Chain A
Amino acid sequence: MRFLPFSFFTLAALPLMATELPEPYQEAIETMKAVRNEGAGNEAAAEAWKQVIQGDAGMVVPLLEAMGDANGLASNWLVSAAQAVVDRELGNGNALPLDAIGAFLMDTRQDPDARRLAFEIIERVDPDTAAKLVPGMLSDPSNALRRDAVAGLLAQGKALRDGEKAAGASILYRQALGAARDIDQVEEASKALRELNQEVNLPEHFGFLMHWSVIGPFDNTDRKGFDTVFPPENEIDLDATYDGKGSKVSWSTLTSTDDYGMVDVNKAYGELKEVTAYTYTEYESPTDQPAELRLGCKNAWKIWVNGALIFGRDEYHRGMRIDQYKLPVSLKKGKNTILVKVCQNEQTEDWTVQWQFQLRVCDATGTALLASNRPPSPVADKTPNNS
């Protein structure tokens, strides 16, 4: 079995070069990448899939590389082909090009999911080496890779805490929290830190938007408010007054003090039914940048960024969680406006009282992107409210 030591130097300054393949294989990969929605390209992709899995182990890295600019559907063609080649080669007792797979893994510009698969291939063949790689992935842009490193720190922190070495435990938990992106790991680290009397600012860690202006209630009888265009969808005038549901309505402030950024519209208007409200905030971006708005909401909702509708969903009270919806957006340098429409329906069960959402701004890995105009986080409730 071939094995060469991995190089840990950064590749960020180098151009992203694809491994060269004989033309038929390269064409086959491009065919799989051409798959689109509603089954477009499936038939050609199936032929291409059968072709590439006939290739030797040298196919693995090119297939992983191709995931970099492939859509999710195409990535599933590619990843399943790579896995088929790996399974066959290992089943036949053949070696894999672990040096090339390792180099791919170390290249942080490559697709995060593909790099995770590369790690798992190495782990399958050489678990000792894979284990040695884990601590070095604490700041990896692939959350799927850094997770294992965070888990290691959390375990070490717990061991120190169990050994009554509080200072050391706090340091490790703090490092774990800084790297953690998955909610379960964030919760574990922050809970331990607070129990060790350490300050934790979860709204800032996640990048939750805490300060809003709110206007409502508007009508949502028979759930028609979701598609009704009320004045805030046409203009944002925080001094304006409009006809609302049963009364004149105007903008007021609504600030979340929740650890997990829950914006509770009921706090503004009471527990109303068949109503709609709008919340508005401004986000100063230090630069033009891609970002994700990540929303949790169990009410029907729509979101506009800089006046453009990003997405909307008319589902009520089927559950919510952090990062329930991931909405890619392009932020411009300077002021960006964010408008959220949140609708409450007619249900009267006790589990349908909530009229709320949580919204954060982050990059594709879940790392918070804090606005340059972000106010200090309000004093946070200590009780998680993300169920």
Chain B
Amino acid sequence: MKPIILLALLTLPFNAHANQWLQFRGPSGSGYTDAALPTEPKVAWELDLPGKGLSSPIVVGDKVFVTASSGPNQDRLHVFCFQAADGANVWERQFWSTGRTMCHDKTAVAAPSPVSDGKRILALFSSNDLFCLDLEGNLLWLRGLTSDYPNASNSLGLASSPVIADGVFIAHVENDSESFAAGISLENGKNLWKKPRTKRANWTSPLVVKAADGKELVALQGSEGVDVVHPATGEVAWRYGEGASTIPSSAVDAEGNLYIPSNGLTAVKAGADGGAEQLWRVGSMRPGTASPLVNDATDRIYVITNANVLSCGDLTDGKRLWRMRLEGPFGACPVANDTHLYACNEKGLVQVIALGEDKGEVVGTLELGEMIQCTPAVSADGVFVRSNGKLWKLQ
């Protein structure tokens, strides 16, 4: 086998599925796509969504899946399946929340993004209701994690988007009262493990991390740092203990190095003794609400600050290469390929930035006219963005 083909196969889970955007922040979990991004985006289609939601769409093959909540108490929970090509409604399932639906006005019960293993859709809501459906909309199992663990909730709302690692669904439910992480069977929804976590509100999302042996681990970020755990058992493989943000999540590269919103931005890798070895730390690269974006192909890392400044850094040493001011504010994480980055602000403005060696330049914009807080999903033929009331496909 030629080396280049072998390399392509080895990187298959991360970047090769242009029609798969199976989780929050895409295949890598860090916002990178190898798909083309339209530089002058236009609306290919739009459709109405009920109620509220800021979860990201996900794309599985030719379908796009979106969650929402509705009703005066936001206790009607929706899972939609649309045709990616034309936005046709393929199916919808509705449920009632079994947990608390109270949350801050700027977030929603449909805040966590759904996740898929390519065969199933797993939709988690801030109410801690969790539904597993197949791609045809058949309900396979469900959980009410607040029904199970009655103080597992956050009165500001939960937002951690789950991941699937090594065939295990990972729920990361950190709050001030009954915090836990759990590995849940994709087959029947039962706990494989459940571990207590720090009692501190936390809105960050787990990341799937490649270990040196090629196996998948899961990074759980919280106020005390990051625990990288084995998905099958929840046992800690290695730990970074110098504190971390509870809003923007970390990013990860293909080698399993983590870029953590901690003391600015801190890059670490697994240490020899179950700890973390620091690669670099740059105080000025502090992410705002949006999580950092890593591009392995170009060795770049991108951060959007609370001052709406997009900074491009060298992935190898964290050195800032250039920065530019965007029009904010930003709740959504950016997505990017090797040449362009999408930044959607809360005013509904999509900004397309050409990523140069020494500067960035806004080369395209699109005004969607509604508050955008979701991180876009990217497929081979379009970009999917949602507001509370709309889902757009951009081309």
Contacts and interface: CB of A to CB of B under 8 A. Distances in A.
B155 A77 contact: no
A56 B37 CA distance: 46
B151 A313 contact: yes
A313 B104 CA distance: 19
Counting contact residues on chain A (CB < 8 A from B), the size range is 35 or more
B95 interface: yes
A314 B140 CA distance: 34
Interface stretch (B185-193, B237-245, B364-372): B185-193
A315 B177 contact: yes
Interface in A9-50: 35, 37-40, 42-43, 45-46, 49-50
Contacts of B144: 37, 72-73
A50 B134 CA distance: 12
B147 interface: yes
Nearest to A67: B96
Counting contact residues on chain B (CB < 8 A from A), the size range is 35 or more
Interface string B72-115: 11000000000000000001111110101010100000000000
A54 to B, nearest CB: 11
Contacts of A311: 150
B1 to A, nearest CB: 41
B177 A319 contact: no
Nearest to A311: B150
Interface string B145-166: 0011011001110000000000
A182 interface: yes
Contacts of B199: 314
Interface stretch (A79-87, A240-248, A263-271, A334-342): A79-87
B138 A318 contact: no
Contact of A318 (B131, B143, B151, B201): B201
Contacts of A38: 143, 148, 190-191
A321 B100 CA distance: 12
A49 B138 contact: yes
Contacts of B156: 318-319
B137 interface: yes
B139 A319 contact: no
A319 B104 contact: yes
A115 to B, nearest CB: 13
B96 A75 contact: yes
A364 to B, nearest CB: 14
Question: What are the 6 A-B residue pairs with the smallest beta carbon separation, nearest first?
Answer: A42-B141, A72-B98, A318-B155, A39-B190, A39-B189, A315-B176
Interface of B: 71-73, 91-96, 98, 100, 102, 104, 129, 131, 137-144, 147-148, 150-151, 154-156, 175-177, 184-185, 187-191, 199, 201
Interface of A: 35, 37-40, 42-43, 45-46, 49-50, 53, 72-73, 75-77, 79-81, 83-84, 87, 113, 144, 147, 182, 184, 298, 311, 313-316, 318-321, 324-325
Given A77-B142, A311-B150, A315-B176, 15 more contacts: A39-B184, A39-B189, A39-B190, A46-B138, A50-B138, A73-B143, A73-B144, A76-B95, A77-B139, A81-B139, A84-B138, A298-B155, A314-B176, A315-B177, A321-B102
